Amino acid sequence: MRYWIFFLVLFFSSGTTLFSQEVPMLTEKSKISLLTCAAGDELYYAFGHSAFRVQDSVLGIDVVYNYGTFDFNRPNFYLNFVKGRLIYSLSRRSFDRFLFEYELEKRWVREQILNLSLDEKNRLFAFFETNYLPENRDYLYDPLLNNCSSITGDILKQQFGDAIVFDGSYLEKQFTFRQLVRQHLNINSWAAFGIDVAFGSVVDRKATVQEHMFLPYYAMRQMENTTKNEKPLIERERVVLDYEEHQNNGFFPLSPLFWFTLLFLFTAIVTYFDYKHHGRSRWLDFSLFLVTGLIGLFLLFLWLATDHTSTPYNFNVFWAFPLNAGIAFLFIFQDKLPEWLPKYLWTVLGLMGLMVLLWVFKVQIFSPVLIPLLLILAVRYVFLLKFARV
């Protein structure tokens, strides 16, 4: 029910017109602030949210500029999502309507009021209004490099240049993009597993101090450690909504590690009986090869045929080997395995070994949930090597 209410609020607020064509001049009573919103239970809420607030009690203005808006009704929305060409937009809503969603979800909201002169406030306000024009409001979204949170640092740098200094001394260390994403997800969840598999080795480089700001919590902390003309950027902070942080406690029997471990035990038992009875389970081999091959083809597509910046050079294709999708049909339609199959099996085993080396030397960090899957494939590949010699 809460989602229906949320979507109704979005619908009725989308057409709100708050200003005329001419941007009003803010008064001395005005404030511009950064809002940081807590993470929620759903994947699209898992990392929190950032937005700018402009308020002026004299002019009766209290609006939120939100760069995290997207439209499911855009043509080819899902295709563009897969291709890495997803368009996000700047939206403008009243502060009360913006806050309503977080009241429903019981998620905290904190506000950091920026220490700006009146001229700087008006410059930033005019920038938001110009950016909100229909011809300017859309931008190419990137989950790690250009999202509602990272854009806050970009805007400050664009508007105030070298006067803005991001001090990274508050960071425990500079994390990689993969480490930063994992901080907000249960690693033994289907969402984290899918993201880890889809990400390539490019996300295993350390993020710069400013790049940490793609996560709203880091953007909030960074604002506390940012200066403008050698003075603190934040004038003061306050809690708008005070709720406890949402805790995502996964249910282990529904987790990927549980199911992959069961699949490993099942594969080991079937392989033992195949070995004892000098036979092979065609449907098991067909399924393993087909599924891993299709996953590999999809990862190769993300790497080579999309605009995603986070999916290139993905060495998960060493276990999800794309050619497996074609090899799979040999196990169904041929009674006798081809003579060249042992060479192929040695190749895929070698690639899995190379993948482990890449993991050890941190060229790419893989999901630990993969370990049962790697054991499944290794057990079956070794068995097929022995069976092919018979």
What is the tens place of the pLDDT at every residue in 217-233?
999 999 999 999 999 99
How many beta carbons lie within 10 A of that of residue 16, not counting itself?
A: 12
Residue 64 reports pLDDT greater than 50: yes
- The continuous run of DSSP H or E covering 87 comes out as strand 87-94
Give the pLDDT of residue 250.
80
Give the pLDDT of residue 19.
52
Range list of H helices, the chain: 2-13, 77-83, 95-105, 118-131, 150-160, 177-182, 190-198, 216-224, 256-276, 282-304, 324-327, 330-333, 341-360, 371-389
Closest CA to 67 of 104, 106, 34, 29: 34
188's tokens: 């033994």
Give the pLDDT of residue 6.
34
Rounded Cα–Cα distance for residues 32 and 155 (Å): 13
Rounded Cα–Cα distance for residues 206 and 78 (Å): 30
User: pLDDT tier at 390 (50, 70, 90 boundaries)?
Assistant: low
- Rounded to the nearest integer, the mean pLDDT of the chain is 92
Residue 81 reports pLDDT greater than 90: no
Mean pLDDT of 174-188: 96
Give the pLDDT of residue 10.
35
Number of H helices and E strands in the chain, helices first, is: 14, 10
Give the pLDDT of residue 79.
86
pLDDT over 70 percentage in the chain:
94
pTM of the shown model: 0.90
What type of residue is 293?
A: G
Place of tokens 């594969």: 267
Going by C-beta distance under 8 Å and a sequence separation of 6 or more, which residues neighbour residue 96? Answer: 62
- Per-residue pLDDT of 32-54, as tens digits, reads 999 999 998 888 789 999 999 99
Residue 191 reports pLDDT greater than 80: yes
Q: Do β-strands 226-228 and 164-166 pair in parallel, antiparallel, or remain unpaired?
A: antiparallel
- Greater pLDDT, 166 or 251: 166
Give the pLDDT of residue 89.
96
Beta strands, E only, 95-216: 109-114, 138-140, 164-166
Helix (H, G, I), strand (E, B) or coil at 15: coil
- Per-residue pLDDT of 335-388, as tens digits, reads 888 999 999 999 999 999 999 999 999 999 999 999 999 999 999 999 999 887
| Longest CA span, the chain | 88
Residue 281 reports pLDDT greater than 60: yes
Q: Where are the domains of the chain?
A: 2-171+209-241, 252-389
Q: What is the CATH number of domain 2-171+209-241?
A: 3.90.1720
Helix (H, G, I), strand (E, B) or coil at 160: helix
- Per-residue pLDDT of 159-168, as tens digits, reads 999 999 999 9
* DSSP β-bridge partners for residue 50: 36
Residue 3 reports pLDDT greater than 50: no
Give the pLDDT of residue 333.
85
293's tokens: 């091959």
